[in-house]
Amino acid sequence: MNRKEFLRSAGLAATGVAVTNTGALGQSKEPNSMDLQGKTALVTGAARGIGLAIAEDLTKHGVNIALVDIADPTGGMAIRGYRLANEDELRSSTDKIKKLGVKAIGVKADVRDLGALKKATDRTISELGGLDIVVANAGVASWSPFEDMKENQWKDVIDVNLTGVAHTAWAALPQMKKQKSGSIITLTSIGGRQGVPGVANYASTKWAVIGLTKALALELGKYNIRVNAIAPTAVNTPLYRSEGQYRSTGMNSFEEQDKAMLGYHALPTPALDPVDIAHSATFLASDNAQFISGMVMDVAAGGNAHYTG
3-state secondary structure of 70: coil
Rounded CA separation 55/285 (Å): 12
Q: Exposed (0-12), middle (13-18) or buried (19+): which is 62, by Cβ within 10 Å?
A: middle
CB atoms within 10 A of CB 207: 18
Say whether 202 is catalytic. yes
Q: Do the Cβ atoms of 66 and 105 come closer than 8 Å?
A: yes
Q: For residue 45, which of 75, 71, 64, 63 has the smallest C-alpha distance?
A: 71
Strands laid side by side in the 104-108 sheet:
104-108, 64-69, 40-44, 133-136, 182-187, 225-232, 296-299
H or E stretch including 121? helix 114-128
Catalytic residue among 82, 202, 240, 246: 202
Compute CA distances 274 → 83, 118, 172, whole Å.
18, 27, 24
Q: For residue 117, which of 97, 129, 134, 140 has the smallest C-alpha distance?
A: 134
The set of catalytic residues is: 202
